[in-house]
Amino acid sequence: MKRLFLASVIALMSVVNVLAGSPQQVKVDDVECGNKVTMTATAKAKYHFVEWLYNGSTFSGNQANPYTTPAIHENREYKVRWKLNPKVVVEVNDPAVGDAYIGAVGTTEEIVDKLGDNVTVTAEVLDDCYKFVGWKKKGAPDTDPYLATTLNYTVTNVGNPGSLIPATYPADQEDVLTLVAVFEIIKYSVTVISDDDDMGTVSAVEN
């Protein structure tokens, strides 16, 4: 996937190249020896800044944004790494009896525009003999409690630490939260009573 973003270099300061994903490149010429360069990376919607690389490698402080270089005594080249924001996906345990979507019917996944956004998921019962039970994280043990038991559930603060789906490192690892809408059949009880056991017996069976 080609990732095009904006990186800016603020300086009056050897040459420092800042590569912000092919094909964009910002170049600061005529940086005076001993001066520094401050670089700022601004991601487009649905992406976020991860880190700076110097000569293809990480370095101490490389996750700062903006980042100010040490004093310049040589030509330098920095590259910025971006990552796709976390994605929320909805599924159902039985598509024949229920539906799940994000926003509009038929939309089953959403990548947040920016870290910290909220995503609201909706479940819908399609069969009168079934009921919605709750939302579970896909792969969670059956003994885990439901995240919510309401048809509408909002996943808050997506991508930030402490959320259900924080953005993770490294940059090439996809962050996906899959929520399953759980439906189950409604069960009733039918009681049959004999008004006089001396006169006869009754029985009943489900079919």
Instruction: Kindly report the backbone phi and psi dihedral angles of residue 75, in degrees, each rounded to the nearest multiple of 5, phi listed first.
Output: -70, 140
Specify the length of the chain in residues.
207
Q: Give the Cα separation of 82 and 205 in Å (integer).
A: 62
Please check the confidence at residue 202 and state whether its pLDDT lies above 50: yes
pTM summary value: 0.82
Per-position DSSP letters for 109-144, written without gaps between them: EEE-SSTT--EEEEEEE--TTEEEEEEEETT--TTS
Q: What is the pLDDT of residues 15-60, one digit of tens each?
A: 445 554 555 677 888 899 999 999 999 999 999 999 999 988 999 9
Q: What is the pLDDT of residues 187-199, one digit of tens each?
A: 999 999 999 989 9
